[in-house]
Amino acid sequence: MPDNHANRKITCLWVSPEEASNQYQSISAWGARENLEWIKVQTLSEAIDYWQGKIKLPASQVVELIVIEQTTSDEFEPSEADEFLAAVQACQVVVVYGPWCEGDGRTRNIWPPALRCPQVWADRWIRQILDALRNRDIALPWTASREEVMRWIFPKTSTSHSENSTGWKVLSPDAIWRESMLLLLTPACTEPQIVAQKETSKKIWLVDADAWICQQTSLPASISARETFKEYAAQLAGEPFAESTEVVALTAWHDDTTRQYLFHQGADRVVSKLAFPLNTSLLIRQS
C-alpha cells in the first residue's frame, strides 16, 4: 500500500489519443511541482492494462488517478466506458471534457456526473483529488449527485463576493458564476510577478453587470433614486467604494448602448463575458 506522506509521489495516467494536448501540457507542468508522475496512454483499454498490472510499473509504484480527456461527444462508446469503469472501481477517475461535450450530461450519460469535469475546473478538481489521496481532503464518491459535486468543488460561502489575495474581487449575487470566474482567473493572475505588482497597486472589482441591468430595467418608472452601478458594486463588496478602486463591468449584453450606459453609471471598463477569460486576464495583468 502507498504511504500517506503529505507530498508523496503519485502515479497518474492521462488518457487521450492526442500526442500532447494543451490541457495535458498545462497540467503535467504544474504536476511536476506537485510530485506527480504522468504516464500518457491513448486508449481506455491501455489504461485498464496499467491498472490491472498487465503493463508493469517500477516496483512499489501503483496507478492512483486516471484522467480521461474527452474532446468530442462520440469519442467513447457506452460499452467501452462501462467496461473501463467496471475494471477500475478502486481508482480515482476524472473525465475532463471540452466545450463540444457540454451537453452530454443532459443528452448522453455514459459517465457518472461525479466523474465529469469541465476543462476550466480541471486544475482545481485534480488538486482536490490529490489532497484526498494524501489524506488532506475527502474524496468524491462515484455516486455523488450534481449538487454534491458542486458543494465539493466550490468553497462554501454566504457572501456575494470572492476576494483574491492579489487585490481583485469578483462581485455577483450568482454564487456559481462568481466561483466559476475565480476558477478561470486565479491560475492566470497568481503568477509571482503579478502578485508582486498587485501588492502595491489599486484594487480591481470585477462586477457581474447583468443582474444590475435587470434590476434597473425592472424597477417602476416612478422610482427615481436608483442605485448607480458603483453603488451596486460597493453593496456586493460589503465595503465603501474607494477612488483608487477600478470597477470592471462584465456583461453578456455587449452592444454599444449597454457599454455607454455602464460607463455613464460608473464603470471604468466594460468587458464581454463571451470574451472571457482572455480579456479579463489581460486587463488584470495590465492594470
pTM assigned to the model: 0.58
| Structural domain total, the chain | 2
Q: Identify the H or E element spanning 193.
A: helix 192-198
Strand ranges (E), 161-282:
161-163, 168-171, 204-208, 246-251, 269-272
* Rounded distance between C-alpha atoms, residue 40 and residue 43, angstroms: 10
Q: Can you give the CATH number for the domain in which 97 is found? A: 3.40.50.2300
Same domain, 142 and 173: no
- Looking at residue 115, what is its pLDDT? 93
Domain that holds residue 39: 10-153
Lowest mean pLDDT among 16-25, 154-163, 171-180, 262-271: 154-163
Same domain, 48 and 147: yes
* Rounded distance between C-alpha atoms, residue 13 and residue 57, angstroms: 12
Same domain, 42 and 143: yes
**Boundary of a domain, candidates 153, 187, 217:** 153
- Looking at residue 158, what is its pLDDT? 39
pLDDT digits (tens, 9 = 90+) for 174-228: 777 787 777 767 654 444 333 334 444 568 899 999 888 887 766 554 333 457 8
Same domain, 121 and 183: no
pLDDT digits (tens, 9 = 90+) for 96-149: 988 878 777 666 779 998 999 888 888 889 988 998 888 866 788 888 888 788
CB 24 within 8 A of CB 69: yes
Same domain, 258 and 210: yes
Same domain, 120 and 188: no
